[in-house]
Chains A and B, each alone.
Chain A
Amino acid sequence: MMETLQAIEASAFSMFVKESSTLYTATLAFHTIGLAFLVGISVATSFRILGVARSLPLAPMEDFFPLMYVGFWINALTGVVLLSLYPTDYLTDGTMYIKLGAIAAAIATLRTLRAHVFGGGVGLGTEAGARRARRLASALLFVWLVAIVAGRVTAYTLPTKLQTAAAVLVFGAVVLSIGYGAARGLGWIGSSQQGA
């Protein structure tokens, strides 16, 4: 296994990208642009389902899904290129598997959410259906956060990774508590009205 990873790391393609700082940094930058499209539009859709912008019709949000998929494929492609540069580091690091697992969970949740909310609007008319949509949207936000945290801490030591994850959890809990109250007070969020 390690021999295969070493062979990939020493391959002509891997060396070519590593030696071209422009190509390497552009790949990293496009990985972040893909993330902004994929996760950003997921977040906008999830927020709408959770009750933000409740007078906004939900059905047209589906028209943004193709751009999300463009973001996904940009990241899949740039991600494979980045993995091929230092596979002996990345693929022997448990954090990378948490990131990949979170991405897989996010894509599965996104597909389930799309089928539930936009696939003919099944169940949206009922309170149980709306509740399931909110649960899926919350789960989607959570797994994207896990993917972002795992992606960002890859370069750090294990104690720093764990401390950062704990700090994100504490910070997230505090911000969510204060932010939820403030957002309700300001009318940015309200009782979910699916309106598909």
Chain B
Amino acid sequence: MELPETFLQLAFVEDLINAHRWVWPLCEVLHFVGLTLLVGIVTVFDLRLLGVAKRMPIAPLRQLLPWAVVGFILCVVTGLVFVTGLWANVAVRPLEALQIDHFLQLKLLFILLAGINLGAFSMSGMSRAVDSVGAGDEAPALAKVIAASSLFLWVGVIYWGRLIPWGL
């Protein structure tokens, strides 16, 4: 099945970007705020699993995680503005960007892998197991592997994401 040339283009987003010059840079700022929230909090959680700040019990650390989700949502919403309104900012259609921009492809792949990694954290029982890791305790080895993967993948998401304009 061939996708239409205008796949993922949203006229109202393009109109908004064309009508107001501040929409695109505002979304850039919010994308950065979102990534800061998401990666900052995920980094703290993952590093504790890896043994940094061992004086900290893991269960209460979970209370920071909803803010990482807020950061992720902020990134997804603004990321969708960039994709669906791309045609208004540069002469590249979203479908073309998805097909030719290897950095965008790698970023999306790393986000998918980070999602699978998170699924593995939950389905392997590690998510529940780490709740009993108290002050001074080591996290289980599998939780450490998942935490190291998470750190690597999210840093990769930032790396590939920053390169997207050079792949268009």
Q: B155 to chain A: which residues have CB within 8 Å?
A: 33, 36
Q: Which residue of the partner chain B has the closest CB to A154?
A: B25
* A32 CB within 8 Å of chain B: yes
Q: With the chains together, A159 CA to B61 CA distance in Å?
A: 42
Main secondary structure of the interface of B (DSSP, over half): helix
The interface size bin for chain A is 35 or more
Known: A43-B37, A64-B52. A148 touches B29 (CB 8 A): yes
- Looking at chain A's contact residues, the main secondary structure is helix
Check A40 against B158 for contact (C-beta < 8 Å).
Answer: no
| Stretch from B63-71, B89-97, B125-133 that touches the partner | B63-71
Partner-binding segment picked from A44-52, A79-87, A111-119: A44-52
Asked whether B43 lies within 8 Å of A67 as measured between CB atoms, the reply is yes
CA gap between A24 and B76 in the complex, in Å: 26
Give the docked Cα–Cα distance between A188 and B63 (Å).
7
Q: Is the CB of A36 within 8 A of B53?
A: no
Q: How far is the CB of B54 from chain A (nearest CB, A)?
A: 8
Q: Given that A64-B52, A67-B43, A156-B25 are contacting pairs, would A35 and B32 also be in contact in the complex, using a CB cutoff of 8 Å?
A: yes
**One of A44, A60, A148, A179 near B41 (C-beta < 8 A):** A44
The answer to whether B26 has its CB under 8 Å from any CB of chain A is yes
Cβ contact within 8 Å between A52 and B67: yes
Nearest CB in chain A to that of B59: its residue? A55
Determine how close the nearest CB of chain A comes to the CB of B155; give it in whole angstroms: 6
Verify A29–B163 contact, CB threshold 8 A.
Answer: yes
Query: Which residue of chain B has the shortest Cβ distance to A145 in the bound complex?
Result: B33
Interface range on chain B: under 10, 10 to 19, 20 to 34, or 35 or more?
Answer: 35 or more
B159 & A61 in contact (Cβ 8 Å cutoff): no
Q: Is A168's CB under 8 angstroms from B29's CB?
A: yes
| CA A29 to CA B70, docked complex, whole Å | 23
Q: Are A40 and B43 in contact (CB under 8 A)?
A: yes
Q: A29-B158, A30-B159, A36-B43 are in contact. List 10 more A-B contacts (CB 8 A).
A: A25-B162, A36-B39, A40-B41, A56-B61, A63-B53, A145-B33, A156-B25, A160-B21, A186-B66, A188-B67
| Interchain residue pairs A-B with the least CB separation, the first 8 | A40-B40, A53-B63, A63-B53, A60-B56, A163-B22, A60-B55, A56-B60, A29-B162
